[in-house]
Chains A and B, each alone.
Chain A
Amino acid sequence: MKRGTKRTKDDYRFTGLTVVVAIFGCLLFLPPLMTAFDRGDQVFNVPVVWAYLFGAWALLIALMALLVRRSG
């Protein structure tokens, strides 16, 4: 059916992009990617895995904030 107004299309795209971010989050937060950083080492004196997880988390939040902002 040809009901696609601009608004529903935007909404559809926004939903799709947020799902992509969620999948990206799973990728970052779950093994095997996450375990690669779990070496018990330190970088700049802080634990690598701690720095990695919080860095990835901040990135995810920023991405989501950006998407929400763009969608208005």
Chain B
Amino acid sequence: MVLQTWFVITASVAYLGVLFAVAFYGDRRADAGRSLISGGTIYALSLAVYATSWTYYGSVGRAATTGVGFLPIYLGPTIMLALGWLVLRRIIRISRRNRITSLADFVSARYGKSASLGALVAVVAAIGVVPYIALQLKAVSNTFEIIRRHPEITPTSQLGQVPLLQDTALYVTLLLAGFTIVFGTRHLDATERHEGMVSAIAFESIVKLIAFVAAGVFVTFGLYNGFSDLFAQAAQANLTTLFSLGDDTGEWVWLTVLSMCAIMFLPRQWQIAVVENVDEHHVKRAMWLTPLYMFLISIFVLPIAAAGMLRLGGAVDADTYVLGVPMAAGQEALTLLVFIGGLSAATGMIIVETVALSTMISNSLVVPLILKRWSYRRRLAGLILGVRRVSIVIVMLLGYGYFRLAGEGTALVAMGLISFAAVAQFAPTIIGGLFWKGATRNGALAGLSAGFAVWIYTLLLPNFTSSGWLPKSFITEGPFGIAALRPEQLFGVTGMDNISHGMFWSMLVNVGGFVVVSLLGSPRGREEAQAVMFVDALADPEGPRLWRGRVAVDDLREVLRRSIGRTATDQAFETYARDRGIEVPETGDADPDLVHHAETLLAGSVGTASARIMVASVAGEEQLRVEEVMEMLDEASQVAALEERHRLARELHDSVSQALFSMTLHTRAVELAVQKEGGSPEGPVARGLKELRSLTQGALAEMRASLFQLRPDALHEDGLAEAIRKQSAAIAARENLQITVDAPMYRLVLDDRAEEELFRVVQEAVHNSVKHASPRRIEIRLDECPEGLVVEVIDDGNGFDPLAARPGGMGLNGMRERMARIGGELIINSSTTGSTTVRAVLPGQQIGEPR
């Protein structure tokens, strides 16, 4: 009863219904602010979207011919995830900061926001991955047919082509297109996160794991007495292929490399690992949990393959052993569970892959074209969503069409690894771009296009021959009979399987082209700025200011409204103002920070290259070129500038400071000498000398303060108390007032941030006092009390009424915010009749550990 066609269909539809429900619930929770995916476990599970129906069924098929030869597909990711904190976190950090929402966008942004590079990446990804989607649909269609024809187990080769309207894959395609549109393009949003979808994918990962492990446990412990019994019987039957990994270790190595690239650069992996990541600390969980998942799902692969070979032998396709063995044993419920598991592996992959591809196609191909052709001055928000939805449907139908056209041959199965090889072409461009500032746009274009061309020639075209789209002689004799150009033995290189051969040649020209062309040229202005920003992503706490041109706030607002909608724009401006504690003016020029902020917001919905075009169109092209030069100088020479400042500070300290110091000593000596020789202390000479001494002393104090400001690290080198002393001495000399600093002589133990904020608070308080209260005397006290660290700035000038003071005036709010940020508070005590006390308290537990 369980395997009746109607029941299988009902179960499948019910399963997809549950998927909709999970996704819907996930989105609801996200909207309510109680995210389901705030823990790292969901992230790690959703990364297991890597395990598709190709690995779900295909691993066993591979194991039947090469023993453990299926394992590199899982071992590579384990190694790559171990590097997660080095590579993946960096990518996440950069993507977050620049609102990068796809792989194509990332590459485009790294190489100077190049639109052509982004388009190339999108094309490579689409061509490489659509056949892979076809492969998933084939798995669904085939397994459904096998179940429909039970109890007889039909080999896949005899399934034939199902009539179009009876094909389950068609209905699955349509249902999934619906799902993806609903949960993948629900709204256009600057982060492009889809919490509902991620929850559903994590759910699917659990389902496929349970199904596969259930089948494995049943086979190993139900049909046999554990692993040793099963393998002993296999050894008796002389199934020796199971006990080794085939004779080609070259293939093993290449597969490991391929899968290392695949776990990062497959569009769906990028989508889940980078775009959908909500907290970079989740990477840590994924570094061990995702490999553990893969460990569990692959531990029963070899046993199932052994059991399949023992019980079903060559009569059944090894790719369907997972389904066939329980079915042959009469386990109907288990068979259905395995089928559902396979369905979940296929649907998970298709959903995420399609979302990722549609983002790339709309942001890196279609929108830049639209912007080039027509002016941006029309509503974009609806258009972009429309483009995304249409491309989802197109990608799905292309996948389905490919599946129907490629037929039932082996062509599709081979497509899995060929897809991996296609996305591996991104590795030099991305990894190189992350760690090498000298990598240029032209280098990336050259390497990627050469690698892609070789991939087409050595892997894709030969695959077409097995679909019958090209004559067999293309492989055996080479094009036009030229033997040196045989695509699987290029230039006579033999002794490798087709994947190793294709990878060898494509990586050779890819890495070679990338490195050589990069070295021959040099990055242009914008590229260089982006290179510095990407490579130093972890060192540099703030993004660079990218826009210095004059942009009217009105224009900016208008551009944003057209692309992300009115409410979203207003909200974005509000949060921007709130985060920084400032007012965004309604008219006039926007400050560079705001323009940059707007550009990143735009990038989230239309891609970095398009965002650049749009902002450029309101900023004015002419100014841009000058600014580009400025920027280049700005970004690339930042480090050099810092070093220069240090050098300058050192030299000034050694020369001018020392000279001033000797001058004060000498002046004092002359004063004493004059007194000794009987000169009148009130005489003009003595008065002149006294004046001279106070001037040199003032100059010395001022010099010290300037030196202090020249060295940005001075605060952390000298410690808070010392820094305040130096700063106060300078102000006292300049403003001609008395500032006493009462602070412990030992160094206070504070973390960098608290030190910085407290210093700024004191600076601000003194500055306020000098500017508004005209005091004669300021007293600064630093004290460690039981309640924590207390810093007081007391003046004897004209006070003010703290309640009546203009809100936000005198930077009081700024000081309060600074204290709040480090968990302290600020108390202001002042009255119109007398002195003012500004008291900052940092509670004890905030004081960091000793360094």
Q: Which A residues have a C-beta under 8 Å from some C-beta of B?
A: 1-3, 5-6, 14-15, 18-19, 21-22, 25-26, 29-31, 34-35, 38-42, 44-50, 53-54, 57-58, 60-61, 64-65, 68, 71
Given the known interface contacts A38-B245, A47-B242, A47-B243, the answer about A3 and B292 at a Cβ–Cβ threshold of 8 Å is no
Q: Is B529 part of the binding interface, using a Cβ–Cβ cutoff of 8 Å?
A: no
Whether the Cβ atoms of B83 and A19 lie closer than 8 Å is yes
Report how far A65 CA is from B40 CA in the complex, Å. Answer: 13
Given the known interface contacts A3-B752, A42-B243, A45-B231, the answer about A60 and B291 at a Cβ–Cβ threshold of 8 Å is yes
Report how far A58 CA is from B288 CA in the complex, Å. Answer: 10
Q: Is B747 part of the binding interface, using a Cβ–Cβ cutoff of 8 Å?
A: no
11 contacts between A and B (CB under 8 A): A1-B713, A3-B752, A5-B751, A5-B851, A18-B86, A22-B80, A46-B227, A49-B243, A53-B68, A58-B295, A64-B288
Q: How far is the CB of A22 from chain B (nearest CB, A)?
A: 4
Report how far A2 CA is from B228 CA in the complex, Å. Answer: 59
Q: How far is the CB of B246 from chain A (nearest CB, A)?
A: 9
Whether the Cβ atoms of B249 and A31 lie closer than 8 Å is yes
Q: Is B641 part of the binding interface, using a Cβ–Cβ cutoff of 8 Å?
A: no
For the complex with contacts A18-B287, A54-B299, A61-B295, 17 further pairs of A-B residues with Cβ separation under 8 Å are: A2-B716, A5-B848, A6-B849, A18-B84, A19-B83, A25-B75, A30-B253, A31-B252, A34-B249, A40-B244, A47-B67, A47-B244, A49-B68, A50-B68, A53-B68, A57-B295, A60-B78
Given the known interface contacts A6-B849, A18-B85, A46-B228, the answer about A40 and B243 at a Cβ–Cβ threshold of 8 Å is yes
Whether the Cβ atoms of A45 and B232 lie closer than 8 Å is yes
Whether the Cβ atoms of A30 and B284 lie closer than 8 Å is no
Q: How far is the CB of B568 from chain A (nearest CB, A)?
A: 35
Partner of A40, one of B83, B240, B851: B240
Whether the Cβ atoms of A50 and B302 lie closer than 8 Å is yes
Given the known interface contacts A25-B79, A47-B67, the answer about A61 and B84 at a Cβ–Cβ threshold of 8 Å is no
Q: How far is the CB of B64 from chain A (nearest CB, A)?
A: 14
Q: Count of B residues near A, CB < 8 Å?
A: 45
Chain A residue nearest in CB terms to B72: A29
A-B pair count, CB < 8 Å, reads: 116
Whether the Cβ atoms of B231 and A42 lie closer than 8 Å is yes
Given the known interface contacts A25-B78, A40-B243, the answer about A2 and B299 at a Cβ–Cβ threshold of 8 Å is no
Q: Which B residues have a C-beta under 8 Å from some C-beta of A?
A: 67-68, 71-72, 75, 78-80, 82-86, 227-229, 231-232, 235, 240, 242-245, 249, 252-253, 256, 284-285, 287-288, 291-292, 295, 299, 302, 713, 716-717, 751-752, 848-849, 851
Whether the Cβ atoms of A68 and B288 lie closer than 8 Å is yes
Partner of B228, one of A6, A15, A44: A44
List, in ascending order, chain B residues with CB within 8 A of A44's CB: 228
4 smallest A-B Cβ distances: which pairs?
A45-B228, A22-B82, A65-B288, A64-B288
Whether the Cβ atoms of B82 and A29 lie closer than 8 Å is no
Report how far A46 CA is from B245 CA in the complex, Å. Answer: 14
List, in ascending order, chain B residues with CB within 8 A of A30's CB: 252-253, 256
List, in ascending order, chain A residues with CB within 8 A of B67's CB: 47, 49-50
Whether the Cβ atoms of A2 and B713 lie closer than 8 Å is yes
Whether the Cβ atoms of B243 and A35 lie closer than 8 Å is no
List, in ascending order, chain A residues with CB within 8 A of B253's CB: 30-31
Among B80, B231, B240, B716, the one with the most A-chain Cβ atoms within 10 Å of its Cβ is B231
Report how far A22 CA is from B78 CA in the complex, Å. Answer: 8
List, in ascending order, chain B residues with CB within 8 A of A35's CB: 249
Report how far A14 CA is from B245 CA in the complex, Å. Answer: 34
List, in ascending order, chain B residues with CB within 8 A of A57's CB: 75, 78, 291, 295
Whether the Cβ atoms of A68 and B284 lie closer than 8 Å is yes
Q: How far is the CB of A30 from chain B (nearest CB, A)?
A: 6
List, in ascending order, chain A residues with CB within 8 A of B299's CB: 54
Q: How far is the CB of B532 from chain A (nearest CB, A)?
A: 17
List, in ascending order, chain A residues with CB within 8 A of B80's CB: 22
List, in ascending order, chain B residues with CB within 8 A of A50's CB: 67-68, 243, 302
Partner of A2, one of B79, B86, B717, B849: B717
Partner of B227, one of A6, A40, A45, A71: A45
Among A5, A50, A53, the one with the most B-chain Cβ atoms within 10 Å of its Cβ is A50
Whether the Cβ atoms of B240 and A54 lie closer than 8 Å is no
Report how far A36 CA is from B310 CA in the complex, Å. Answer: 28
Report how far A21 CA is from B256 CA in the complex, Å. Answer: 16
Chain B residue nearest in CB terms to A39: B244
Given the known interface contacts A25-B79, A61-B78, A64-B287, the answer about A5 and B752 at a Cβ–Cβ threshold of 8 Å is yes
Given the known interface contacts A18-B83, A50-B302, the answer about A64 and B291 at a Cβ–Cβ threshold of 8 Å is yes
Report how far A6 CA is from B244 CA in the complex, Å. Answer: 48
Whether the Cβ atoms of B295 and A49 lie closer than 8 Å is no
List, in ascending order, chain A residues with CB within 8 A of B240's CB: 40
Whether the Cβ atoms of A53 and B243 lie closer than 8 Å is no
List, in ascending order, chain B residues with CB within 8 A of A40's CB: 240, 243-244
List, in ascending order, chain A residues with CB within 8 A of B243's CB: 40-42, 47-50
Chain A residue nearest in CB terms to B284: A68
List, in ascending order, chain B residues with CB within 8 A of A58's CB: 295
Q: How far is the CB of A23 from chain B (nearest CB, A)?
A: 9
Given the known interface contacts A49-B243, A68-B284, the answer about A14 and B68 at a Cβ–Cβ threshold of 8 Å is no
List, in ascending order, chain B residues with CB within 8 A of A18's CB: 82-86, 287
